Amino acid sequence: MPDFSVLEPAIDPNNRISFLLDWELTMKCNLDCSYCGVGLYSGHDNSTKHPPTTECIQTLDFMFKYADLYMKHKPRGLRYVVLNVYGGEALNHPDIVEILAQIQTKYQKYSDDWHLTVTTTTNAISSSKKLLKIIPYIDEFTTSYHTESSPKQKQQFKDNLLTIKNSGKKIKCIVLMHSIEEHFIDAEKMIKWLTDNDIELLPRQLEDPSNEKYNYNQKQVQWFNSLYQSKTHGNFDQIPDSKSLLSNLNNTGRACCGGRQTCQDQNYRERKFYVLDNKFTGWHCSVNWFFLYIKQVNGEVYVNKDCKMNFDGEVGPIGNLSNTSEILDTLTKQLNTRTLPIIQCKKTICYCGLCAPKAKELSTYNQIIAKYQKDYQ
């Protein structure tokens, strides 16, 4: 367990606290990376069909209605929503352009109340012709570099990143640091290329805590230590030396997947980029105030894509796209009567959702969360 009892996102004008709509549009992917699980509840599954376009467009209505309910209870300065379209590989959906074209139309009725940013998390391995059709509908691109892709795909990746950058759209590249030495070196080369081309980047450790194949050697751990220390303002929590030659960083800690810094125990002068001991079992968490996850392929609706905690103190969905009216009606009543349950974590480790304010004690949670909720506490 961590040696702190409160975790909050640091105030950063360049990385605003927002409400993230994680929309897993399709499970199909044009890559098959060894560290990405296969199956309905893994990273990709090419045996599933692309969800029907009409159903995808209907999902936009639900997501915006859901987000709007929370926005009504947030201070004006926190009414920012990010729609993240991803997969699998979302750009592989045959009607992705048609789906993206509907977003602004659906959002228009809310535009005076809260701000929307449309992003996509993509491996950026797409034809240039298709990419040029997609770019006008995306505000910010989060691309991911995979060292296991082919030389041809890597070149296509670089070409597409330059196309996105030259279009004037904001772009960030997540460089997945593969622990196999030749791949790690390849990732370092990509970091240099991104730096030379003035493209924002964020190196990230692989996340497969059950697979020792992806453990990092001591030289690589020190590489991460140097990276995290350079991004920390205050005392850096050094990744401890392992007694073995290899380290499983996922059992040690992690950085926020969005690159956001955090503050511990209400010490707002120190900002941590890396969180040691990201284990919050039993803690009270505001993850529902900042996330929604839609699994379009089977219609499941979750609070968050990784922890999947619901309001019944269990790991599971809060409903299905087949009963969105019930989800919205229940949430409306709970918010308006201040009876919305507080999520208490039952997971052994925290991945995405790390930046959601959380506290070990309920009284402390109620104290810190007040600043994120308007007329709720």
Q: Which residue has the tokens 């599971």?
A: 316
Contacts (Cβ under 8 Å, ≥6 apart) of 168: none
Q: Which domains can be identified in the chain, with CATH numbers?
A: 6-372 (3.20.20.70)
Q: For residue 139, give both structure tokens.
A: 């505000």
- Please state, as a whole number, how many other Cβ atoms lie within 10 Å of the Cβ of residue 180: 13
Residues 250 and 85: their CA atoms lie apart, in Å, by: 25
Angle between helix 324-336 and helix 53-71 axes, rounded to 10 deg: 0
Buried b (16+ CB within 10 A) or exposed e, 331-346: beeebeeeebeebbbe
Q: What pTM does this model have?
A: 0.95
- Angle subtended at Cα 56 by Cα 84 and Cα 309, rounded to the nearest 5 degrees: 55
Q: Residues 221, 179: contact at Cβ < 8 Å?
A: no
Residue 207: the pLDDT is 77
Do β-strands 200-205 and 216-217 pair in parallel, antiparallel, or remain unpaired? unpaired
Q: Give me the residues paired with residue 159 across strands.
A: none
Task: For the chain, give the secondary structure using H, E and C.
Answer: CCCCCEEEECCCCCCCCCEEEEEECCCCCCCCCCCCCECCCCCECCCCCCCCHHHHHHHHHHHHHHHHHHHCCCCHHHCEEEEEEECCCHHHCCCHHHHHHCHHHHHHHHCCCCEEEEEEEECCCCCHHHHHHHHHHCCEEEEEECCCCCHHHHHHHHHHHHHHHHCCCEEEEEEEECCCHHHHHHHHHHHHHHHHCCCEEEEEECCCCCCHHHCEEHHHHHHHHHHHHHCCECCCCCCCCCCCCEECHHHCEEECCCCCCEEECCCCCCEECEEECCCCCCCEECHHHCEEEEECCCCEEECCCCCCECCCCCECCCEEHHHHHHHHHHHHHHHHCCCCCCEECCCCCCCCCCCCCEECCHHHHHHHHHHHCCCCC
Residues 336 and 57: their CA atoms lie apart, in Å, by: 28
Residue 188: the pLDDT is 98
Low-confidence ranges of the chain (pLDDT < 70): 208-212, 242-245, 375-377
Q: Residues 42, 27: contact at Cβ < 8 Å?
A: no
Residues 237 and 256: their CA atoms lie apart, in Å, by: 14
Residue 295: the pLDDT is 98
Q: For residue 332, give both structure tokens.
A: 């409306």
